[in-house]
Chains A and B, each alone.
Chain A
Amino acid sequence: MSDLNIAMSWLGGLAIAAPLALVLFLGIASLLDRRLTESATTKAIRAAIGIGLLACLGVLVLMLISGKRHVVVVLGRWVETEDFHVTVKFVFDRLSVPFALLSFVLSGTIASFAERYMHREAGYNRFFVLYAVFLLGMIVASLSGTIETLFLGWELVGLSSALLVAFYQERLGPARNGLWIWSVYRVSDAALLLAAVVLHHMTGRGDFHRLLGEAAWPEGQASATGTEAFVVGLLLLIAAAGKSGLIPFCGWLPRAMEGPTPSSAVFYGALSVHLGAFLLLRVSPLIDCSPALGAVLVVLGLATAGLAYLIGRVQTDIKAILSFASLSQVGVIVAEIGLGFRYLALVHLLGHACLRTLQFIRAPSLLHDYHGLENALGKHLTHAPPPFLRWAKPDTLARIYRFAFERAYLDSFLLTCFVLPFVRVFRRCDELERAWTGWLQGNRSGAEDESKTPSLGMEEVT
């Protein structure tokens, strides 16, 4: 191995090790109940992000010098048995390096913002522990070279996001929304895990290059047949839809705005919401194998973009408006991926994430900005309806408004078609079991106790 390769491997390892060390430092201190001061936490975060960012930049520079477009850093076999193994492998290429750099830059920006925003907040330490877990998850997911490592990062991002939504835990709304988001993420995780299993069956390993070809992204040639590509791609699409809030999962996005503004900005405005699109970009050679899959992506992306635009128009708080604006762009990015415009989608993703982060962190001072703008113009800002709705009659407009206001009834659809029937069926089973146990005990107290319980309230599951 040449010196350049060794240097790239070390720097690549350092880019992963820095956020991992941050998680261990903050996490172990919390477990041992050693309260870190705000300045110690800040210094640790700055150091970890700085080292990680520099290491990632170092890899990029060395890649440019050596002309290599695909650097693989293998940290070793994590688990190895005769018929099963998991390799810890990270890939630095034209997709992962920009995304990892973006994650470090935006996370660093938001960390600086959050230091002041969260100053003397009761959950300061909790926020930054979850923030560190999120950062680690993002870096691992962006640089992953196997589907197992991707899954590891994916899960860390999901858990930290759900817990950050529930950050203001004395209010019920954030807790319920956190649960909703976690449930959507778990479905998405299940789809990703199933895709990993199918991938293992197809290639014998979870390595991306086995499925997507040895060539550097995006020139890889997938080794799957059209049907195989469609099945795996569809599972990955479900995973991406859950993570990026595509139809039918878009209901979680405004719910995520219950969290602190810094986390909303970095997670749902910039990074987390793009993770689904990133996954689709990573497996884009697979999409080339199945035109049907590409068509599904285009339709889903455009439908999500259109719907998010409509819903965003009727929102009344700035964070919700921004989240749907973000979603409409993610929809367009997904459509671009479906159409095969890889670089366009990547550039769109990077630019959009930066713009949206800026908008989110300006959100708390929106009214101030508005007043400044109106003072400068010397008149009130106008709010004209979109051009294509000017022809619509008032009752049609009202219907469209209602449709958008109810967020296309997607949450109600998921609730009434899946959640409530599930809960009712198993609550009934529970009653029957209690009655059966009561009968075996020689009394019916168990069944009677349960019959006195209140019926299922919507607030319990929403």
Chain B
Amino acid sequence: MIVLPLPWLEAAILLALVGSLAVNRVRNLDRAWRWGVALTGLVFVCASAASLGFLLQTPEATYPEWNLQTILFGRPYLGLDELNAPLLPAVALLHFLTALATARTRMRSFSLTWSLSAEAFHLAKFACKEPLVLVVLLTLGAVLPLVELINRRRPARVYVLHMSLFVALLWLGTLLPSGTPAAIVLLAAVLIRCGVVPFHCWITDWFEQASLGIALLYVIPLSGVYAAIRLVLPIAPDWLLSGLGLLSLTTAFYAASMGLVQRDLRRFFAYFFLSHASLVLVGLQLHTTVSLTGALSLWFAVLLSLGGFGLVLRAVESRFGWLSPRQHRGLYEHSPMLAVSFLLTGLASIGFPGTLGFVAADLLVEGASGVHLFVGLAVIATATLNGIAILRVYLLLFTGARHTSSVSLNITPRERLVVLTLSAFILGGGLFPQPGISSRERAAEAILEVRKDHLVGERGASAPRSAGHP
């Protein structure tokens, strides 16, 4: 099979950018939605073609004169490698499914212009391997939520304070000469972006203030983790990564515990997400092939499972309003399919056997325990708490005295399509995990190779200097 050697990646990003401008001009909500779905669908096709081209080794240099980036900038800044090749279609799919599942009642609050712009930034970020360009994209990407908060007339101080600090540290780390001080500063920036304790309050606040669909699309792709891999991992000394691991592990456990006691659905989701994002960071800091493969696989599983879980919560919220799981709601009879989807995506997020996240979680536990048994224990304890939290919220939402309603609240055909698509990925990836795991293993090896080269280069550079010392 050969993928037509066209600039698919560039097409996907440009389509999303141009599409966001085009959709912004459409005033009719229904038409705007149809355009939005079509455009996000096309972006997904382009991103998949780009990824497929990379995986099938379609020669990039077949038509070098067609490379848009070379024409525009003189050299390509964006490109695919083992790490980002599967991530791009996954992010595009999440955007497409979010647009597709948007209920009529939510069309006003869910901005397709915002979604398409965010998609363009996400795709560009994940395709970028140049540190400076990545920093610029991360900075610009941080402005988008501010636009959403201002549009919704919601308080933005918590977000602005955290993101200002993030951007300041990001630029400071980039401008400092490469070395341990730069790594420390960049790591601090990444910790804020990932919402590691004590810098996590912006995530819960963001989920409370933004539209749920937009909140999901901004955080679920885990841009902070990508920044950690590209900017911090190659240059950070081992002791610094251990510090990152300790903080991430604390966050994972703390967020899982907080998720378990929440009485607000959005805050529950925010903590649940935070716990998983932190587990991915734990895998990164261990920097062994097994743990890194586990972390990258978990990242992919989080994208689809937790993204799907968020979409199910959004569907529940669009029917019943902002729910607070303080008492049993009895929603099962109204929408059994939503209940099943809730359970399926939720269990996939915690790595239940037979789902996408199972092998990822297993690899992560194995890698963590390889470093220290107590790290493995903490990861298992976190997964246990998350598992209890999922069923607690399921039982609170879907069981109890039947909710009375005069209109049908069952799942719509579009939502069913979204749920079935996600189920196919979650169960298919769970039953046949080998292709995905192999791809993540290759990515992990490539990341560790870059880190090794950097550390060897650094030692080589410091050797003559140290030789001069008495």
| Contact residues in A for B77 (Cβ distance below 8 Å) | none
Contact with A along B326-341 (1 / 0, CB 8 A): 1010101000110010
B205 contact from A159, A197, A437, Cβ within 8 A: A437
- Give the CA-CA distance A181 to B437 in the complex, in Å: 33
| Contact residues in B for A172 (Cβ distance below 8 Å) | 328, 399-400
Whether A453 pairs with B263 at a CB distance below 8 angstroms is yes
B261 contact from A78, A151, A190, A430, Cβ within 8 A: A430
Interface residue? B289 (CB, 8 A): yes
- Give the CA-CA distance A426 to B254 in the complex, in Å: 9
Interface residue? A200 (CB, 8 A): yes
Interface residue? A156 (CB, 8 A): yes
Whether A84 pairs with B383 at a CB distance below 8 angstroms is no
Interface residue? B138 (CB, 8 A): no
Interface residue? B151 (CB, 8 A): no
Interface residue? B434 (CB, 8 A): yes
Whether B401 pairs with A84 at a CB distance below 8 angstroms is no
> Which of the segments A109-117, A162-170, A216-224, A392-400 contacts the partner chain?
A162-170
| Contact residues in B for A442 (Cβ distance below 8 Å) | 155, 157
**Given known A-B contacts A186-B387, A193-B380, A197-B373, A81 and B438 have beta carbons under 8 A apart:** yes
Whether B400 pairs with A79 at a CB distance below 8 angstroms is no
Interface residue? B161 (CB, 8 A): yes
**Given known A-B contacts A30-B340, A169-B399, A175-B328, A426 and B437 have beta carbons under 8 A apart:** no
Whether B353 pairs with A170 at a CB distance below 8 angstroms is no
Interface residue? B107 (CB, 8 A): no
- Give the CA-CA distance A148 to B366 in the complex, in Å: 12
| Contact residues in A for B380 (Cβ distance below 8 Å) | 190, 193-194, 197
Instruction: Tell me the residues in window 171-210 of chain B with beta carbons closer than 8 Å to chain A beta carbons.
Output: 201, 204-205
| Contact residues in B for A83 (Cβ distance below 8 Å) | 288-290
Interface residue? B347 (CB, 8 A): yes
Interface residue? A178 (CB, 8 A): yes
Interface residue? B129 (CB, 8 A): no
Whether A81 pairs with B400 at a CB distance below 8 angstroms is no
Interface residue? A3 (CB, 8 A): no
- Give the CA-CA distance A31 to B423 in the complex, in Å: 9
- Give the CA-CA distance A201 to B373 in the complex, in Å: 10
Interface residue? A433 (CB, 8 A): yes
Contact with B along A20-37 (1 / 0, CB 8 A): 000000000011110000
A426 contact from B260, B330, B399, Cβ within 8 A: B260
B392 contact from A82, A179, A426, Cβ within 8 A: A179
Whether B381 pairs with A78 at a CB distance below 8 angstroms is no
Whether A81 pairs with B289 at a CB distance below 8 angstroms is yes
Residue count of chain A within 8 Å CB distance of chain B: 56
> Which of the segments B5-13, B56-64, B302-310, B357-365 contacts the partner chain?
B357-365
Nearest CB in chain B: distance from A82 CB, A: 6
| Contact residues in A for B384 (Cβ distance below 8 Å) | 186-187, 189-190
| Contact residues in A for B332 (Cβ distance below 8 Å) | 169
A437 contact from B158, B352, B398, B399, Cβ within 8 A: B158
| Contact residues in B for A170 (Cβ distance below 8 Å) | 330, 399-402
B433 contact from A78, A178, A436, Cβ within 8 A: A78
Contact with A along B133-169 (1 / 0, CB 8 A): 0000000000000000000000101100100000000
A423 contact from B261, B353, B396, Cβ within 8 A: B261
Whether A194 pairs with B437 at a CB distance below 8 angstroms is no
Interface residue? B235 (CB, 8 A): no
Whether A190 pairs with B383 at a CB distance below 8 angstroms is yes
**Given known A-B contacts A79-B437, A81-B293, A172-B400, A441 and B155 have beta carbons under 8 A apart:** yes
Interface residue? B219 (CB, 8 A): no
Whether A433 pairs with B354 at a CB distance below 8 angstroms is no
Nearest CB in chain A: distance from B26 CB, A: 33
Interface residue? B55 (CB, 8 A): no
| Contact residues in B for A159 (Cβ distance below 8 Å) | 347, 352
Interface residue? B416 (CB, 8 A): yes
Interface residue? A5 (CB, 8 A): no
Interface residue? B45 (CB, 8 A): no
| Contact residues in A for B365 (Cβ distance below 8 Å) | 193, 197
A-B contacts, 5 of them at CB < 8 A, read A159-B352, A182-B387, A198-B373, A201-B370, A453-B326
Chain A residues with a Cβ under 8 A of chain B: 30-33, 77-84, 86, 126, 148, 151-152, 155-156, 159, 162, 166, 169-170, 172, 174-176, 178-179, 182-183, 186-187, 189-190, 193-194, 197-198, 200-201, 422-423, 426-427, 429-430, 433, 436-437, 440-442, 453, 460
Known: A201-B370, A423-B261. 17 other contacts (CB 8 A): A30-B340, A31-B340, A77-B434, A79-B434, A81-B438, A83-B290, A156-B354, A166-B395, A169-B330, A170-B400, A172-B399, A175-B395, A179-B388, A179-B392, A201-B369, A433-B258, A436-B201
